[in-house]
Amino acid sequence: MSNYKATTTLAASLLACAISSATHAQSDRWEMEEIVVTAQKRAQSSQDVPIALSAFSSDTLKQIGATDFKGLTTMTPGFSVAGGSDAFPRSYIRGIGSNDTGVGVDPSVGVYIDGIYASRNGGALTDLMDVARVEVLKGPQGTLFGRNSIGGAISIVTEKPSEELEGEVSAEVGSYNNRVAKGIINVPLIDDTLYMRASGNIQKRDGWQENVLGGADGYDRDRATGRLKFTWLPTDTVEVNFANSWSRYDETSGYTDNLSFALPFPLNSKTSDINDKKVVSGGQNLFGATALDVAPLEPRLERTLRDHSVTVDWDINDSLSLSSLSSYRTYSTFSSSDYDGTEYYLLNNEGSTEFNETISQEFRLNGDTDNLTWFVGASATHERNALDFKLGFADFGRLSEDLGFTEINGGQNFSEITHVDTSTDSYAVYGDATWHATDHLNITFGARYSEDKKEIEWGAPLTQADGAANFFGAGFTLPNLGQFVDANGIPDASQAKRDDNWSDFSPRLVIDYAVADDSMIYASISKGYKSGGFNSTPSTDLFNNLAVTPVATASVDPEEVVNYEIGIKSTWLDNRLMVNASIFSLSYDDLQVRQINGTVVQLANAGKASNEGLELELRYQLTQDLTVLANATWMDAEYDEYSANGQDLAGTPLLFSPDFAGSIALDHSYQLENIGELRSYVSYSYKGDHLYQEGFEQDSYELVDARVSLLTDDESWEVAVFANNLTDETYINNYIGQVSSFGVIGVYRNTPKTLGASLSYKF
């Protein structure tokens, strides 16, 4: 609580000093940069949009060191990204996200790249390379963006080709032997007709999680990303944009940290030959306990993503335009991980392979007259997923040897493969209109009707399990294994096939009023929708029934949310001070929650939840050279009705929803005569206590980042040094719940302090 008071006192003091200084300052005409956004499907100043949003220009992204949208969390209170592996990032806005990354369900925060939906968690995390801006929209965006943006939406807008011949090359080095090389080239191929822009990024880094016995360290980096775009202007009224992007990850992900350091049965006994294992903690003090974490396999992340899109914009006349957005997107991911964080083969992801293919088409008609601005549209999406997940546990050979028993099961492990195929067909029609009732008053009404159909085929044969009917003397038994493996050792298979469909009508109503030329108040009510789905995660219970229960035979209902919000957007002091605030109240029904009871994993609807909160955003250009930025969020997010594992969890906070989170940053520039601009940026962020899993709380933590750069007078050369997590703060950002039956708490932690330097040249 002392951190909370210190943070709010600091922010209030800076704001008071800023306003006091501004009151006595001379009225020079220097002002803040305006950021133009397309949150409402048309170009507007972010200050004219009656939606709570955070907008980041390309310059801001560079200053805060955001290489993907995870880097936006420190400067966007209320926004969190969880996950021990970049294969399955999970985004949360205002406490709403999805703790299930299976192919049977959808994320709760939509990611859009150049207006096109990136449908899966595994394909959503993308490098912010050659990006014009990023918009983080808070609250349900069902009308404007569609399904699966119930928590909010992240809109990434990449740079378009232009008529200029220009380019940039840069190199970066840093901690853990980090090396990054980037390049951008923009070429006008045919004057006034055809332009090309190409960009690429290569990163290699050693792992920061030490493997003291040799082999790969955890969290290394080996990534490559490329994008090729063409802009074709066949006529004065038609613009066609072709975009092709590709990325590849081939790296070691994180080893699980074991917070319990003990097992409820004697498995750490006779033989301690760990030379063939991966010791990752090295006995260091971690979370208040000395650990020697050992993993029986190397965690891997391999991902390839390809994205192709064609966007056509036709200005029919001065007040009417038609747009077409076509996309074909694929990605494939292989990941593996040690769930339990011990040297034993208790529970491990031996290999998860996922393939996704998405085809989408959208048409949108925009109109603008004297007193009405509107758009209508229709979209269709087909998505196909295939998942093979190999869950391995019970290393009978190793455990028998350690406990002194006769070898059972021929020394083989027990493992299980789940194969899942899903397909989704989604259709929507939508419209939104703003009536400019007076010069000061606007009334907006919008609505979207959606239909979703999903099919799932699910199979789970048991493998390498013949003969392992009981595990004597180990403190637990596998009593029912024989029911699922026949006498000849041929695995039986649990299979399921199901389909379901859902429809939804999501409206929004907004009233905004300009109380002055530079100040607006607004009130809104909006509805969000996340489509239903199926459980696609292996569900096993080692203590009672080793069958992999086809929970996929039951679907879960869609999530729905209604958001009430009032806010103000204002600029003061000749556009040098920006103060935005919003108060929101959200009511959720049927949240899709991944419930974990021992090793049983089941997706279920969690009844009702609510969230009331306040968000503040301040930007103040204190002098021509110094800008202060501050953000804060207060939330009270909890379940109103929720029962799981025989417990009434009403009143439990939602995951990743601290009561308070805030940040403050200083951006200063100083002109060195005949040399260039020396710029320094430092930020401080605070996140209060919050749950990362029901029953498991992360204490509050603080992060400090800094960057100092020198840009030459001709703006061609820039050299910079930077530090991320300067105080080397440690916190948990993901939890592995399936291993709790073993008395093990498996978690992943954040990246430690990193330092670096970069050099870039523009031409």
Partners of residue 750 on adjacent β-strands: none
Q: Binning pLDDT at 50, 70 and 90, where does residue 126 land?
A: confident
Tell me the backbone φ, ψ of residue 142, rounded to 5 degrees: -60, -40
* Weakest-pLDDT range from 7-11, 30-34, 62-66, 386-390: 7-11
What are 156-176's pLDDT values in tens digits? 999 999 999 999 999 999 999
Question: In angstroms, what CA-CA distances link 195 with 123, 160, 284?
Answer: 28, 9, 54
Q: Binning pLDDT at 50, 70 and 90, where does residue 460 land?
A: low
Q: Summarize the confidence of residues 720-725 as an average pLDDT.
A: 97
Partners of residue 561 on adjacent β-strands: 528, 588
Q: Is the pLDDT of residue 724 over 90?
A: yes
Q: Three-state secondary structure along 235-277?
A: CCCEEEEEEEEEEEEEEECCCCEECCCCCCCCCCCCCCCCCCC
Q: Is the pLDDT of residue 14 over 90?
A: no
Cβ(229)–Cβ(712) below 8 Å? no
* Weakest-pLDDT range from 32-36, 266-270, 666-670, 747-751: 266-270
Burial of 54 (0-12, 13-18, 19+ CB in 10 A): buried
CA-based R_g, the chain, Å: 27
Q: Binning pLDDT at 50, 70 and 90, where does residue 10 land?
A: very low
Most confident range, picked from 14-23, 399-408, 575-584: 575-584
Cβ(203)–Cβ(180) below 8 Å? yes
pLDDT confidence of residue 166: 97
Class of domain 2-762 (CATH, top level): mainly beta
Q: Summarize the confidence of residues 131-154 as an average pLDDT.
A: 91
What does pTM read for this prediction? 0.86
Q: Is the pLDDT of residue 474 over 70?
A: no
pLDDT confidence of residue 398: 53
Most confident range, picked from 99-113, 209-223, 411-425, 673-687: 673-687
* Weakest-pLDDT range from 58-62, 457-461, 682-686: 457-461
Output the six-digit token pair for 630.
């501050």
What are 483-536's pLDDT values in tens digits? 333 333 434 445 678 899 999 999 999 999 999 989 999 999 999 999 998 887
Question: What does the alpha-carbon distance between residue 101 and residue 30 come to, in Å, rounded to a whole number?
Answer: 47
Cβ(183)–Cβ(166) below 8 Å? no
Q: Of 659, 647, 539, 529, give the one whose Cα is nearest residue 591.
A: 529
* Weakest-pLDDT range from 110-119, 434-443, 581-590, 674-683: 110-119
Tell me the backbone φ, ψ of residue 623, rounded to 5 degrees: -135, 180
Q: Is the pLDDT of residue 418 over 80?
A: no
Question: What does the alpha-carbon distance between residue 665 and residue 663 come to, in Å, rounded to a whole number?
Answer: 7
Other residues' Cβ atoms within 10 Å of the Cβ of residue 78: 32
pLDDT confidence of residue 475: 33
What are 530-549's pLDDT values in tens digits? 999 888 765 544 434 444 44
Q: Is the pLDDT of residue 103 over 60?
A: yes
Give the helix/strand (H/E) hosting 733: strand 732-736
Q: Summarize the confidence of residues 15-22 as an average pLDDT.
A: 43
Q: Binning pLDDT at 50, 70 and 90, where does residue 432 land?
A: very high
What are 633-652's pLDDT values in tens digits? 999 999 998 887 677 888 89
Question: In angstroms, what CA-CA distances link 248 with 84, 201, 237, 304?
Answer: 18, 11, 37, 5
Amino acid at 606: A
DSSP track, 430-472: EEEEEEE-SSSEEEEEEEEEEEEEEEEEEEEEEES-TT----T
pLDDT confidence of residue 601: 64
Q: Binning pLDDT at 50, 70 and 90, where does residue 704 land?
A: very high
Q: Give residues with Cβ within 8 angstroms of 473, minimum separation 6.
A: 403, 405
Q: What percent of the chain has pLDDT over 70?
A: 75
What are 541-572's pLDDT values in tens digits? 443 444 444 444 578 899 999 999 999 999 99
Question: What does the alpha-carbon distance between residue 70 and residue 92 come to, in Å, rounded to a whole number?
Answer: 11
Cβ(391)–Cβ(416) below 8 Å? yes
CA angle 45, 50, 51 (to 5 degrees): 95
HSE-CB for 346 with a 13 A CA cutoff: 32
What are 200-212's pLDDT values in tens digits? 999 999 999 877 6
Question: In angstroms, what CA-CA distances link 241 with 30, 42, 119, 229, 360?
Answer: 36, 17, 21, 7, 16
- Torsional sign, CA 484, 488, 491, 493: negative
Question: What does the alpha-carbon distance between residue 704 and residue 96 come to, in Å, rounded to a whole number?
Answer: 26
pLDDT confidence of residue 457: 86
Q: Summarize the confidence of residues 283-294 as an average pLDDT.
A: 37
Output the six-digit token pair for 460.
């789970």
Long-range contacts of 99-102 (CB under 8 A, 24+ apart): 99/593, 99/594, 99/655, 99/693, 100/535, 100/537, 100/592, 100/593, 100/594, 100/603, 102/387, 102/420, 102/535, 102/536, 102/537, 102/603
| 3-class secondary structure, 121 | helix
Q: What percent of the chain has pLDDT over 90?
A: 54
Q: Of 643, 644, 719, give the one whose Cα is nearest residue 677.
A: 719
Q: Which residue has the higher pLDDT, 471 or 374?
A: 374
Q: Is the pLDDT of residue 184 over 90?
A: yes
Question: What does the alpha-carbon distance between residue 575 and residue 32 come to, in Å, rounded to a whole number?
Answer: 6
Partners of residue 337 on adjacent β-strands: 349
Q: Binning pLDDT at 50, 70 and 90, where does residue 732 land?
A: confident
Q: Which residue has the higher pLDDT, 35 or 228?
A: 228
Q: Binning pLDDT at 50, 70 and 90, where does residue 459 land?
A: confident
Q: What is the residue-averaged pLDDT of the chain?
A: 81
CA angle 653, 658, 664 (to 5 degrees): 170
Q: Summarize the confidence of residues 747-760 as an average pLDDT.
A: 92
Q: Summarize the confidence of residues 445-474 as an average pLDDT.
A: 67
Q: Of 616, 703, 740, 32, give the one whose Cα is nearest residue 339.
A: 740
Q: Is the pLDDT of residue 97 over 50?
A: yes
Other residues' Cβ atoms within 10 Å of the Cβ of residue 558: 23
Q: Which residue has the higher pLDDT, 450 or 27?
A: 450
Most confident range, picked from 189-193, 268-272, 403-407: 189-193
Question: What does the alpha-carbon distance between residue 443 and residue 218 come to, in Å, rounded to a whole number?
Answer: 53
Q: Binning pLDDT at 50, 70 and 90, where does residue 335 land?
A: confident
Q: Binning pLDDT at 50, 70 and 90, where does residue 284 land?
A: very low
Most confident range, picked from 413-422, 437-446, 552-561: 437-446
pLDDT confidence of residue 217: 85
